[in-house]
Chains A and B, each alone.
Chain A
């Protein structure tokens, strides 16, 4: 059975009430794929707080993001996040930031290209406004300039 995380989150964060969930009742925006996935350039973003080498860590309410080289390996990567159990992600970033699978799927031709860099932020940003008005437009801009065709989001 899928876990009901909304009541559990309310309980964990009741000291910070009122915690208002983002709810979107309208039909989501929609852009059809321009070409098959096998011919598409795919970019990854993860909210698991992954950091590359000596990149500065995130802080609370931090809506900034880091560029993670596509070819980064486990020894290059750290995790800074206070909102989930990071033990497994620290041991293997691919649990929340699947660089290795995406490199392999690009090599196998399942996706046309894995865009370099990938993007990382720390999902514990309590201001939906910051994400909407600061983080998302910057990322959208970067993706446009990099001619990315499809965008893969992995929250953590």
Chain B
């Protein structure tokens, strides 16, 4: 929709089959577990490298619907995450509403209390 409005778009993905189905104008695939599309935590050089390589696709993709695969590997010695990522019991149980509300209240209170400092 943004692309149709005249702004070029580029979509990161770690789910190749989903992105093939959605078929965005430009996409870049990194084979990492969901939730790490732009890298591992606390690895700023890896994150910057992935984002820089991904953005390069703005200038290299010339055909709508192209997906470029970047060569990053999550763990060269252990690919077991591919067996378990996003399968049954993978997601933590959803918190009951009261618990979720408490967590939310605490999170927001942290900033309300520090406002003005």
Contacts and interface: CB of A to CB of B under 8 A. Distances in A.
Interface of A: 1-6, 8-9, 11-12, 21-33, 36-37, 40, 42, 48, 51, 53-54, 56-57, 78, 80, 82-86, 88-89, 91-92, 94-98, 100-102, 104-105, 110-111, 132, 136-137, 139-140, 143-144, 148-156
A43 to B, nearest CB: 8
Contact of B8 (A23, A26, A33, A100): A33
A128 B41 CA distance: 30
B1 A136 contact: yes
In this complex, the interface size class of chain B, counting residues with CB under 8 Å from chain A, is 35 or more
Nearest to A150: B8
Interface of B: 1-13, 15-18, 21-25, 29, 31, 33-42, 44, 47-48, 50-52, 54-56, 58-59, 64-65, 79, 82, 85-88, 90-92, 94, 104, 107-108, 110-112, 115
Contacts of B13: 155
Nearest to A8: B86
A74 B113 CA distance: 18
Contacts, number: 207
Contacts of B107: 51, 54, 57, 78
Given A23-B21, A83-B91, A89-B35, A12 B86 contact: yes
